[in-house]
Amino acid sequence: MAAPSCSALGVWVRGSWQRLGDLFTFVSKPLCSAAAASRPLDAQRLAERLRAQKQEQKTKKPVPTNPVQRRVQELLRFTEQLQRVHPNVLAKALSRGLIHQDKDLVVINKPYGLPVHGGPGVRLCISDVLPVLAKMLHGHKAEPLHLCHRLDKETTGVMVLAWEKDVAHQVQELFRTRQVTKKYWAITMRVPVPSAGVVDIPIIEKEVQGQERHHKMTLSPSYCMDNGKMVRVRTSRNAHLAVTQYRVLSSTLSSALLELQPVTGIKHQLRVHLSFGLDCPILGDHKYSDWNRLAPQKLSACILKKLGLRQSKARHIPLHLHACQLTLPALQAGKEELNLVCKPPRYFVHTLRRLGLKMPSRDQNGDKEATHSGAQ
């Protein structure tokens, strides 16, 4: 019998391996399927976790050596984390920063970057955690707390909540009728002239034309200059009366610490009056530092040097506006007014030091007998 040729041998070997492969596939498929069916989710989660870790390593930025840049990066990360934390965790953090609590009210120290109400792109807000916070403070049978007023997402400080809806409506009416005294601290670029005064200019919301169409609050003055003469102009029906008292507490050549007392409560009133009325925008106010566009705030070379930052990093600077004091009239006969004082957050104090601005003394701030909260 003739020996098989090389080509025939090759065909036989390939055919044998093909049959063995088919047999292996036939036997192993059920086994693999059974193993996969028992732990399909574990394997998928493990793969997703590994991919996430690799992606995080690729995008992980080096920790800056400059302490200011490091603090700015921490604030940015903190703001992002606030939108991802569990409501219970956020409620616990708010409960630790209580300024005041009695049978009618709960006063919290609102942190930076946390919105009060929900909206597009908002995953978590203060109103969402009020039921959890109430249970932490008064037990599992407690009814949800109620909001009495609001603060902007980027504003920190005193915020009043009520246990009962009737009390919340009572406090809201006090705010509406301007019986509540509110004081804010703001760090500004440049120093206002004069060093104390009143800004009494109506405010209106307008659409900004350009590449990025958006709406902003702006001034709607009752007078304008015409050929060197002051002429009264017709006031728009949509304009709102807006009055802000201010005084300089500390200043340098390039920046200032201001105490602000809004008489009215129009949306973004303090930011608009400072930026467009006094030409002293609040540090970190990237919305109202320029009317025509939405862009990071342009900082002077002096401020950048003191903060140890480059202009490219200015977009991460938080808004330096803090609700430092709130005085509520007595809610019931026989009770005294409630004076609530909240210390500024650590980043605010740190910026004051870097810019060479001085913190006002307790006597200067008029809070000798106030209820206090520690710095965030």
Catalytic residues: 152
Closest CA to 199 of 264, 288, 285, 256: 264
SS3 for 20? helix
SS3 for 273? helix
Give yes or no for a cis peptide into 115 (omega within 30° of 0): no
The residue type at 90 = L
- 252 contacts 160 by C-beta, under 8 angstroms: no
- Residue at token pair 């939405």: 294
C-alpha 374, offset from chain centre: 19
Contacts 24+ apart (CB under 8 A), 271-276: 271/217, 271/321, 272/203, 272/217, 272/218, 272/219, 272/242, 273/199, 273/201, 273/203, 273/219, 273/242, 273/244, 273/246, 274/186, 274/188, 274/192, 274/246, 276/218, 276/219
Closest CA to 179 of 188, 187, 170: 170
- Both structure tokens of 43: 């394997």
- Residue at token pair 């005193």: 158
**Bridging pattern class, strands 156-162 and 321-328:** parallel
- 353 contacts 255 by C-beta, under 8 angstroms: no
Concatenate the DSSP letters of all residues of 253-269 into one string. SSEEEEEEEESS--TTH
Where helices occur in the chain by DSSP H, the ranges are 6-38, 40-59, 67-82, 87-96, 126-138, 165-176, 269-272, 301-307, 346-355, 362-365
